[in-house]
Amino acid sequence: MATLPVDAIKPLADKHPKPPNVLFQYGTAGFRTLGDALDPVMFRVGVLAALRSKRLDGKTIGVMVTASHNPEPDNGVKLVDPRGEMLEVLWENHATTLANAASTEDFIAAVQTLVTNSRIDLSKPARVVYARDTRPSGPALVASLEDGLKAMGAETRNAGVTTTPVLHYLVKAINTKGTKDSYGDDSEEGYLEKLSSAFKKLVAGKSTASPLIVDCANGVGAIVGKKLAEALGSSLPLNLQNTAIDTVGALNNACGADFVKTSQKLPPSLASVLKRGERGCSLDGDADRLIYYYMDEREQFHMLDGDKIAALVAAFIVDLTKSAGLEEVVQVGIVQTAYANGGSTKYLSERLPVKCVSTGVKHLHHAAERYDVGVYFEANGHGTVIFSPETLEKLATHQPSTPAQSTALNHLINLTKVINQTVGDALSDMLLVEIVLAHKSYSGVEWDALYMDLPNRLVKVVVADRHIFKTEDAERRLVSPPGLQARIDELVRRYAGGRSFVRPSGTEDVVRVYAEATIRSQADELAFRVAGLVYDETGGDPARRPAEFL
């Protein structure tokens, strides 16, 4: 029986000591904090990834080094399980335990405990593929990760600088290679070919779209987006903006999906680019979020967020299943979070099943897997569509009885190839949106008119300890601090169509406050008043209480 390679681990672990009085937490998006604080975490994640692979009989595990939409000084790391899905929840706890071991000796003891308790056969191979985004701290953190993988003797593959969704795709493609369930060629080129080929089939015969303006957030999406534009050619001309990946401080700065969603306005850099009647979209720093928008004839900006994308896509898929003669055997369902706009929830619930779950990709993804076709999009633009294995089998074996059914069936099959079903993917979702717009002959105006969003506002409140805020009912109500929810309820009752909830961020030391009302000014007022309650609850200095909260 193989034993833990302590002699290999110890000298490398000593190179990456954990600083005292620092607590790391594997959260919604893995570990995420200032990049210069992550060195010891990266080494330990390397060891953990190798152990996870061994536990799963040598299946390839993914590691992505990114902080997504966060400011450039931040960085992070997350693990990807063999089907391209997020790390199993139990192993999130293991990650946190290993990251917080105080010394090399404590770390080795914790690893040994994990090996024993999880019955890991150390004689099994360890295989890991890893990648990073464009952050300046990335190369040094990857070097630390590589030390952890080296300590465990893992077989490794460096996928270089690429998007988070490509890394998820690679993990699934590697693990299904040579099987009947092959997900595609296990390369970035294979990813691009799969998406672009299916897209071209789906828009064949449709009128050529005007160039789509794509805000790349000065991140890694600019690199992969350029390659995708070349693969798409004239089938979808892309006008890539905010591509300054080498400009220090540019990443996610006044641009990108999070900026557009939070500020509800066009990135300043696009003010002279997006013209009347044109549509555009913004990716985030690692290209797993997508927000659309358009400029109307009066040159007014209109945002089309994840809720709007979900409504557009779900209705299209429902129509295709009916046209293919599959409506009786294929159920389409929607999964949302509390951040979903009330207007979207009403529109969708009148047409198909809708379920609300806690914020976080892992909750949405697992809930979506329970449907034959599960559509999930967070309002922030992160989401995808999942076709169950049984549904994929039905699509492969269904015998259409008319030419129209045959056409719809082929469209559904090609949709399964355009969609990155492992994780939310801004570039894949962008192609999906463009397919629906082409088939429906929709402009942004027609798409936006599917339903009316209730005016809403999202506010961040910086707090000393976000962990004192506990929630229930899919994060729609607070249970702690005591009494705060009752005060929020009292405020909400004062506003027509009022709704508000408070939840701690999974990635930052902030609490997020969301509010809706039937009138824009009241939605803003409600959000800032609830934010004021949160600020007061944390014992903030009244003299420094932000003016907007009053």
Buried-state track 500-532, b at ≥16 Cβ within 10 A, e below 16? bbbbbbbbbeebbbbbbbeeeebbbbbbbbbbb
Task: Give the tens place of pLDDT for each residue, 311-362.
Answer: 999 999 999 999 999 999 999 999 999 989 999 999 999 999 999 999 888 8
Task: Give the tens place of pLDDT for each residue, 144-167.
Answer: 999 999 999 999 999 999 999 999
Angle between helices 39-55 and 104-117 (to 10 degrees): 20
Q: Which of 44-48, 100-104, 539-543 has the lowest mean pLDDT?
A: 539-543
What pLDDT does 361 receive?
Answer: 83
Confirm if 391 and 115 have CB atoms less than 8 A apart.
Answer: no
Better-scored residue on pLDDT, 192 or 210: 192
Query: Across residues 412-429, what is the average pLDDT?
Result: 97
How is residue 374 written in tokens? Answer: 């599960």
Angle between helices 39-55 and 6-14 (to 10 degrees): 160
What pLDDT does 408 receive?
Answer: 97
Q: Is the sign of the CA dihedral 152, 153, 154, 158 positive or negative?
A: positive
Rounded Cα distance between 408 and 226, Å, is 31
Architecture field, domain 306-424: 3-Layer(aba) Sandwich (3.40)
Rounded Cα distance between 313 and 294, Å, is 18
Residue with tokens 């902030």: 510
Confirm if 221 and 163 have CB atoms less than 8 A apart.
Answer: yes
Task: Give the tens place of pLDDT for each residue, 263-309.
Answer: 989 999 999 999 998 999 999 999 999 999 999 999 999 999 999 99
Query: Across residues 384-395, what is the average pLDDT?
Result: 96
Rounded Cα distance between 160 and 390, Å, is 34
Task: Give the tens place of pLDDT for each residue, 56-89.
Answer: 999 999 999 999 999 999 999 999 999 999 999 9
Q: Exposed, middle or buried by CB within 10 Å (0-12, 13-18, 19+), for 493?
A: exposed
CA 151 to chain centre: 31
Rounded Cα distance between 349 and 334, Å, is 9
Confirm if 471 and 479 have CB atoms less than 8 A apart.
Answer: yes
Q: Active site includes 443?
A: no
| pLDDT greater than 70 at residue 1 | no
Same fold across 6-161 and 189-304: yes
Confirm if 344 and 454 have CB atoms less than 8 A apart.
Answer: no
Query: Across residues 3-9, what is the average pLDDT?
Result: 96
CA distances from 275 to 79, 117, 202, 264, 278 (A): 41, 60, 27, 17, 5
Rounded Cα distance between 67 and 378, Å, is 18
Which run of H or E residues covers position 257?
helix 256-263
CATH superfamily of 189-304: Alpha-D-Glucose-1,6-Bisphosphate, subunit A, domain 3 (3.40.120.10)
Q: Which of 38-42, 136-140, 275-279 has the lowest mean pLDDT?
A: 275-279
What pLDDT does 266 receive?
Answer: 97
Task: Give the tens place of pLDDT for each residue, 465-511.
Answer: 888 999 999 899 999 999 999 999 999 999 999 999 999 987 677 89
Tell me the β-bridge partners of 364: none
How is residue 13 written in tokens? Answer: 């672990």
What pLDDT does 208 receive?
Answer: 67
Buried-state track 131-143, b at ≥16 Cβ within 10 A, e below 16? bbbbbebbeebbe
**CATH fit for domain 456-549, picks 3.30.310.50, 1.10.10.60, 3.40.50.740, 2.60.40.10:** 3.30.310.50
Rounded Cα distance between 335 and 339, Å, is 12
Rounded Cα distance between 58 and 120, Å, is 11
Query: Across residues 410-436, what is the average pLDDT?
Result: 97
Confirm if 45 and 88 have CB atoms less than 8 A apart.
Answer: no
Rounded Cα distance between 209 and 228, Å, is 16
**Mind giving me the DSSP string for 389-401?**
HHHHHHHHH---S
Task: Give the tens place of pLDDT for each residue, 231-268.
Answer: 999 999 999 999 999 999 999 999 999 999 989 899 99
Reported in sequence order, the residue ranges of 83-215 that DSSP labels E, i.e. its strands, are 127-132, 155-161, 212-215
What pLDDT does 549 receive?
Answer: 45
CA distances from 106 to 10, 96, 111, 141 (A): 11, 13, 9, 22
Alpha helices for 419-483 (secondary structure H):
426-440, 444-448
CA distances from 221 to 118, 217, 234, 290 (A): 38, 8, 20, 11
Rounded Cα distance between 506 and 337, Å, is 14
What pLDDT does 209 receive?
Answer: 65
CA 480 to chain centre: 27
Pairing mode, if any, of strands 301-304 and 279-283? unpaired
**Mind giving me the DSSP string for 58-114?**
T-EEEEEE--TTS-TTEEEEEEE-TTSPBPPHHHHHHHHHHHT-SSHHHHHHHHHHH
Angle between helices 221-232 and 426-440 (to 10 degrees): 40
Rounded Cα distance between 46 and 53, Å, is 11
Rounded Cα distance between 90 and 114, Å, is 11
Determine which one of 68, 144, 235, 505 is catalytic.
68
CATH topology of domain 6-161: Alpha-D-Glucose-1,6-Bisphosphate; Chain A, domain 3 (3.40.120)
| pLDDT greater than 60 at residue 541 | no
* AA letter at 140: A
What pLDDT does 550 receive?
Answer: 39
Percent of the chain with pLDDT over 70: 97
Give 29's pLDDT tier (boundaries 50, 70, 90).
Answer: confident
| pLDDT greater than 80 at residue 219 | yes
How is residue 431 written in tokens? Answer: 């192609």
Backbone φ, ψ for residue 131 (5° rounding): -155, 170
Tell me the β-bridge partners of 283: 290
Mean pLDDT of all residues in the chain?
94
| Per-domain boundaries in the chain | 6-161, 189-304, 306-424, 456-549
